[in-house]
Structure 1
């Protein structure tokens, strides 16, 4: 354990300006941009690109436990503590370590004790893939936790790389001296005054559990083998931890424990004669200070890693694109997301066939559903995030080369066209297609054009992380009749919850569907 037991952080997002009048958005965005698409989706929808049925929003009930779980624990604090422990082994002297996922290889260390660490690992493990690192997911989790608990907005950049080996020991522990803490924070990139503020900000929520630290928090005899002492008495990410320390009412075990060796918060808070703590008693100063320090923490990465710009909401975002097989046509599934609600809005999807025209005479469709996917973070920014879902029938013979949208806001202005900066949203190939409606989490079914028989149909299967797990070949599914010029192939995979790249080799050319996801699988076949 360290000064950041189950914790929470405040970081103001400075790139989002004047939400009531407009948004600063990322420049030069062009679809597809897999890393940006996924991180942006997790932040502002709670989900990643191509992950329609599972999302960080599933854990909103847990995040609501900002400080009021069954034992007083904080789900949000678990997520943010996890991020701090990962970043805390940074070495500013040689530029190594930081938020790099090495923590997953360090959870057996005493400095990383706590069931909450295992909880956070399990929560985050559903989302990484070959584009999205575990450490980026961890950073997103911190941002969502802060927003959920009424803390300031955390600016998130992407591009973190996951470590393949453990980092050094070095997460601060309560029994260490002030000098040892000061040196640890220095290596993390923080000066002594930063250390005071970062500890106060981090201990705005969460607390100490007796199962993890029985010497500090005893169990309750005859009641529970576990006990939990909170850092302060509010459910929000605020400066109550500071005020209660200053007025002498704090129950923070790291301040008032009878064992003077373990009161690391007291030593840190008092290290400059309480000058910094008195400054943090002002709520605005507290928020601004935490904004600066937590932004620094979340962007602490090895010197060899370059992060993206801050990822702001994309006003009109396309995702969930999947060309597949319907009952008597190909089926184009896609979603168009808006960050402002408009009940009068009419949206139409249009497409061009593989020759660039519309020889079939039917190349447009209206939405099949409109969904609200607003997260707490989006709401805090004044956004109402809605998705328009399409399941457009595409002629199997003429197929499709690209699609775009026409948007009528219903306010008397001329309709506008959304076409990916003039290129359209391209469908690169139709020779090998994932069939999610007939697949399950264990059985993957794909459709392959049969005008030229493929020499091989296979997929690269990725675990929830950056490393290729295995490559497997599909077999012809003889129990599924050929249809619409396609044969069907299947593979029963013993793993669950994976992403994959799908390939078909035809006359020496490999056709690929990039990063398909088992979460698309619905087992509700159209045939």
Structure 2
């Protein structure tokens, strides 16, 4: 599967100190150097990562990595956030991050990256969202990499928790209840659950969150309104009196969902104590065969048993019944 991603403003390659404040030109140069290393996020449904990796959903993994690295942020103190601590062995091996290490670690932590690991994770999330059909979000560099793990217990990763408990965790990060909805349910527009990683959610090798797990769209909100939730928290938020009007709006208006996701995801990427650079101009082209390759195949009904041959010897000229049509996109 090939992805066409064009990075604007091509500049000559020069050495960049990843731990210093980057100028606009240095940040763009770093992006250009890095892009070829992470074009994989465009593999929006299944990807060839490692043969025995528990998850082959590279795009969804990039979103998960972004959230799991930033999700331990404490707004009151500025501790944690998107700081690359996820790449530290002690944090990456935690049960809350199950599946990320064997599936993604070697991709998002190249030893010679010209920007920090935290910036690599942020850029991977941005490229994934846009390449898979979602909104384009500005990329900024300058995040410092942590040298010690953060408090993994702060990560709001329990799929069975209450809306109030999840909202409290997001408030601790400085994010609103609406941010919580679009960053959790909204991000479930890509990927699904795996028995090897989430045995309490599914016994299947892969169970998609919605009908288009390789397309960044609003189908996940349609599914939650219908009560089709692989993650119980998604249905709890859809039933919440404050959030339900937004779920209904996003199910009917994809542009409204994209607009809010752009805002909320940018806030997530800014959860850092570091001073970020000016936005880097990055143009990302949507995956060529996004809808065809990103829609999860549904079983085709078996054809009816052939009718008994007519007593007449005359040949029938009636055409066979047309196969039922299915739509690959809402």
Determine if the TM-score, normalized by the shorter chain, exceeds 0.5: yes
- Contact 1:197–1:276, Cα closer than 8 Å, also in 2: no
Which residue number corresponds to residue 191 of structure 1? 176
Change (3 A) 1:128 1:269: farther
Contact 1:152 1:287 in 2 (8 A): yes
Distance 1:127 1:96 in 2: 25
Aligned partner of 2:108 among 119, 124, 133: 124
- Which secondary structure state, in structure 1, belongs to the residue aligned with residue 207 of structure 2? strand
| Equivalent position SS for 1:312 | coil
The answer to whether the aligner puts 1:242 opposite 2:221 as a matched pair is yes
The 8 Å contact of residues 92 and 189 in structure 1, kept in 2 or not, is answered as: yes
SS of the equivalent of 2:185 reads helix
Structure showing greater Rg: 1
Secondary structure of the residue aligned to 2:34 is coil
TM-score w.r.t. the length of structure 1 is 0.46
Which residue matches 1:308? 277
After TM superposition, give the deviation of residue 193 of structure 1 in Å: 2.5
Separation of aligned partners in 2, 1:243 and 1:126: 38
Going from structure 1 to structure 2, the CA distance change for 1:42 and 1:272 (only over 3 Å counts) comes to: farther
- What is residue 207 of structure 2 aligned with on the other side? 229
Q: Distance in 2 between matches of 1:209 and 1:89?
A: 24
Render the CA deviation track for 1:386-423: whole Å, top value 9, x for unaligned. xxxxxxxxxxxxxxxxxxxxxxxxxxxxxxxxxxxxxx
Q: Deviations over 1:151-195 (max 9, x none)?
A: 111211010000111111211111323322111111122122221
What is the root-mean-square deviation of aligned Cα atoms in Å? 2.9
Q: Comparing both structures, which one devotes a greater share of its residues to helix?
A: 2
Cα distance in 2, alignment partners of residues 111 and 56 from structure 1: 24
Matching residue of 1:74: 57
TM-superposition CA deviations, 1:287-309 (whole Å, max 9, x none)? 1010100011111102xx11111
Larger mean CA deviation between 171-180 and 285-294 belongs to: 171-180
CA contact (8 A) 1:98 1:301 kept: yes
Q: Which runs of 5+ in 1 are unaligned?
A: 1-22, 220-226, 255-262, 314-376, 381-527
Instruction: State which of 157, 166, 171 in structure 1 corresponds to 2:155.
Output: 171
Question: For the Cα contact (< 8 Å) 1:102–1:165, is it kept in 2?
Answer: yes
1:315-464 alignment to 2 at 5 Å?
377-379=283-285
Q: How many residues align?
A: 261
Structure 1 CA distance for aligned equivalents of residues 86 and 102 of structure 2: 11
- Tell me the distance in 1 between the aligned counterparts of 2:215 and 2:111: 27
Once the two structures are superposed, the pairs formed by residues 87-106 of structure 1 within 5 Å of their partners are 87-105=70-88, 106=91
Q: 1:72, 1:230 within 8 Å by CA — same for their partners in 2?
A: no
Q: Which residue of 2 aligns with 1:296?
A: 267
**Pair 1:56-2:27 in alignment:** no
Question: Deviation string for 1:250-295 (max 9, x for gaps)?
Answer: 3x311xxxxxxxx122222322261120121211110101010001
Report Cα offsets for 1:200-219 as digits up to 9, x if no partner: 22111111110112222114
CA contact (8 A) 2:92 2:100 kept: no
Partner of 1:152: 135
Query: Is contact 1:78-1:116 (8 Å) kept?
Result: yes
Cα 1:378–1:148 shift into 2, 3 Å: closer
Does the Cα contact within 8 Å between 1:42 and 1:56 map onto a contact in 2? no
State the match for 1:40 in structure 2: 28
* Aligned counterparts of 1:39 and 1:242: Cα–Cα separation in 2: 36
Per residue, is there more strand in 1 or in 2?
1
Shift of residue 119, structure 1, vs aligned partner: 2.3
Matches within 5 A, 1:132-143: 132-143=115-126
1:246/1:73 CA distance change after superposition, 3 Å? farther
1:253 is matched with 230
| Structure 1 residues 265 and 132: alpha-carbon distance in aligned structure 2, compared to 1, 3 A threshold | same
Instruction: Select the structure with the greater relative contact order (CA < 8 A; seq sep ≥ 6).
Output: 2
